[in-house]
Amino acid sequence: MRSISIQKQLLKNTTTTSIILAVLGFLAVSGTVIYHHSQVFDELLAGNANALLGKSDVYPDIEYSLQHLNDEMDIEYQVINQNGQILNQTLYAPSTPYLQEFNDQSYYNIWQNGKWLRVYTAYNHGLNRYVQIAQPWRQRFDFALPVIANYMAFVAVVLLVLALSNFWVIRKTLRPLKALQDEVASRHLQDLSSIQPTIIISETRPLLDAINQLFERLIIAKESQERFTADASHELRTPLAAVDMKLQLMGRKFADQPDLVGMLTDARLDVKRSTQLVESLLTLARLDNEQVSQKQTVLVRELPRLLQGVIDEFADKFSENHSQFMTDWERCLGDYRTLCVHTDLLFVAIRNLLDNALKYGGHQTRICLQILTDEQGVRAGVLDDGVGVSAKVQHKLTERFFRVLGTNRQGSGLGLSIVAKIAQYHHGQVQIGQGLDGTGLGVFISLPFALH
């Protein structure tokens, strides 16, 4: 998917168009300036040629005047008789005529001595002599250059002002679109009300209508999902609880039949696993639909006290598994920074991590509940020194219903999926790696600090 910015595109297009027009204007103005300068210099060459031939009394002392013109404008002339002999010339004029063949009162462009020259020729029939007067084109360009440079400076200022004004106008014009973006971004599953901005760009009206229609469909889907979750919670929990109770009663009734009691005990374990599976699925459903209560602010130093209840739940299980349990949270006891968390969901996450360590770590393992802090937030996790998991499949552990092949432990494959969903709900993430002393498995959930 290719993403583009309307603001950048508009700025790019308007700026490119302005630059193209400026370049075209520069070429037109430069051509006009050079043309008019050339016309003036052509008239100057013709006037001085006529004066040299005695056809004009504008310059009574023409040779003196041409000397100044030669110094200022690099104009050279030759006065030649009908035999082709040079009668008079300026200091730097060539010793041979510029042109051997020419017409009266005509202009020529010639290449001589490494430069282009503009030459004017005139003939006086009464005196039987003619004049060739020349000026380098470079000199004409030098006179036109200041005018062109001033125009370029003016165009540069205009382009800068135009770019700034375009940026301001485009940004102001697109402000309703930014407001619409913020409105859409602020919506969540608990607030899918239609968006009614005070100002809207007419071209985005179909998009806004489509978004509002999508919100309406999401509301319907959300309500259906909530009804399903509520119905499943009742329809699944109640029968399973009833089955468990009947199995328990049957176990008491037939206590004198050990084989039957063993079968009933296995059946109760299956019911218990089914109940846990239902609870996990309902938890995921509630997290997917954000059907959870509001978060609360908790000091980092209070986490050990809050999690102690979860640890107490596993005390007997640690003993049965002959596991050594330890904590590593001393570094957070003096931390007064705050977290914005849903405590019940945090308990579920830590409970699932401890349960996984007990189930899949093996007997007589060491299990550590660790809480670390850094500049971004808190990392709470469980590490063990058990059998561990291959690094190739660690990234799949948070997928729903994924279970590592070769394990002989019963499980639903949803424990770490729930942990990942809880981390996502808290704008955090799950990190999986090695456990204690580089062995086993370590799973952490990161929780960012609360924004003040």
The predicted model gives 164-185 an average pLDDT of: 84
Q: Is the pLDDT reported for residue 56 higher than 60?
A: no
Residues ≥6 apart with Cβ < 8 Å to 155: 22, 25, 26
Identify the weakest region by mean pLDDT among 195-199, 247-251, 288-292, 306-310.
Answer: 288-292
Both ends of the chain: CA-CA distance in Å? Answer: 36
Q: Mean pLDDT of all residues in the chain?
A: 81
pLDDT digits (tens, 9 = 90+) for 193-217: 788 888 877 877 888 888 888 888 8
DSSP string, 244-294: HHHHHHHHHHTTT-HHHHHHHHHHHHHHHHHHHHHHHHHHHHHHHTT-S--
Percent of the chain whose predicted confidence (pLDDT) is above 90: 5
The predicted model gives 213-235 an average pLDDT of: 76
Under 8 Å between Cβ of 132 and 102: yes
Write the CA distances from 81 to 121, 124, 129, integer angstroms. 13, 10, 4
Six-digit token string for 181 = 């973006």
pLDDT at 383: 92
Under 8 Å between Cβ of 128 and 54: no
> Is residue 332 packed enough to be buried (19+ CB in 10 Å), middle (13-18) or exposed (0-12)?
buried
Q: Is the pLDDT reported for residue 53 higher than 70?
A: yes
- Rounded Cα distance between 273 and 351, Å, is 16
> 248-257, 289-298, 364-373, 420-429 — which one is most confidently predicted on average?
364-373
Q: Is the pLDDT reported for residue 384 higher than 80?
A: yes
Classified as helix, coil or strand, 45 is helix
pLDDT at 287: 63
Q: How confident is the model at residue 368 (pLDDT cuts 50, 70, 90)?
A: very high
pLDDT at 280: 64
- Rounded Cα distance between 273 and 409, Å, is 12
β-pairing verdict for 324-328 and 338-341: unpaired
The predicted model gives 55-81 an average pLDDT of: 67
Q: Is the pLDDT reported for residue 392 higher than 70?
A: yes
DSSP string, 182-211: HHHHH-BTTB-PPP--SS--GGGHHHHHHH
pLDDT at 58: 45
Q: How confident is the model at residue 59 (pLDDT cuts 50, 70, 90)?
A: very low
Identify the weakest region by mean pLDDT among 58-72, 168-182, 331-345.
Answer: 58-72
